[in-house]
Amino acid sequence: MNTKLRTRTLGLAALALTASMSLAACGSESDADTASEPTSSASTSETPMESESPSEEPMADGPFGPACAEVPTSGEGSVEGMADDPVATAASNNPLLKTLVAAVTEAGLVDTLNSAEDITVFAPTEEAFAKIPKKDLNALLADKAALTAVLTHHVVPGKLSPADVAGEHETLNKDMITVEGSGEDFTAEGATVVCGNVQTANATVYLIDSVMMPQM
């Protein structure tokens, strides 16, 4: 092979090699670009997390409140003992409710409360009656009509559980009371429930730390 033909052959080989390398480089860049692009399936598969709803405060299954520790642990005045008797009789065995029982007796409401089928009683404790000046309390006990209005203002129809007690309720005095709160924290007309959800044979009892006064 002469020198002129050899030179031409080497030149064509070099040109072919250069073209092959250029095509390979383009292919590599195209593959890299394709790999770097996010796939639509990956982006669409991601869903926002649902917001968690706030948990509600659990309702009490049994008696609750600080004054429940003062209730006798045995006998007719205990939580178990009160459950067997109608409400006025059950209250008469509980030392936290002595003044209330005296008032109920004075008003002649023992039979009315004991014979009621299903009621809820907001029962003022000794502490509640102690907030009333002695002179005013004695005057109230001596006025049967006023005393009856006050006592029936503390009683509503139906046995209301902690899940149902919050809200407005018509009393046996034919007026309204408002109970606020949830879980184990309730007030009735501003009076704090200090021992709630106590069961008697015909009533659910919520002991409160103040006497609720109706509009006379």
Q: Give the CATH number of the domain where residue 200 resides.
A: 2.30.180.10
More confident residue, 155 or 10: 155
Q: Would the pLDDT of 173 be above 70?
A: yes
Total domains in the fold of the chain: 1
Residue 161 pairs in a beta bridge with none
Predicted local distance difference test score (pLDDT) of residue 7: 46
Q: Does residue 27 form part of some domain?
A: no
Q: Would the pLDDT of 198 be above 90?
A: yes
Q: Does residue 198 form part of some domain?
A: yes
Q: Does residue 157 form part of some domain?
A: yes
Q: Would the pLDDT of 192 be above 50?
A: yes
Q: What are phi and psi of 207, to 5 degrees?
A: -75, 135
Question: Which runs of E-coded beta strand occur in the chain?
Answer: 119-124, 155-157, 167-170, 176-182, 185-188, 191-199, 203-208
Condensed to tens digits (0 to 9), the pLDDT of residues 13-25 reads: 444 444 444 444 4
**Across 192-210, average pLDDT:** 98
Q: Does residue 5 form part of some domain?
A: no
Predicted local distance difference test score (pLDDT) of residue 136: 97
For the sheet with 191-199, list strands across it.
155-157, 119-124, 203-208, 191-199, 185-188, 176-182, 167-170
Q: Does residue 14 form part of some domain?
A: no
Q: Does residue 89 form part of some domain?
A: yes
Q: Does residue 12 form part of some domain?
A: no
Q: Does residue 124 form part of some domain?
A: yes
What mean pLDDT, rounded, does the chain reach?
A: 83
What range does the domain containing 107 cover? Answer: 66-208
Q: Tell me what percent of the residues of the chain surpass a pLDDT of 90.
A: 71
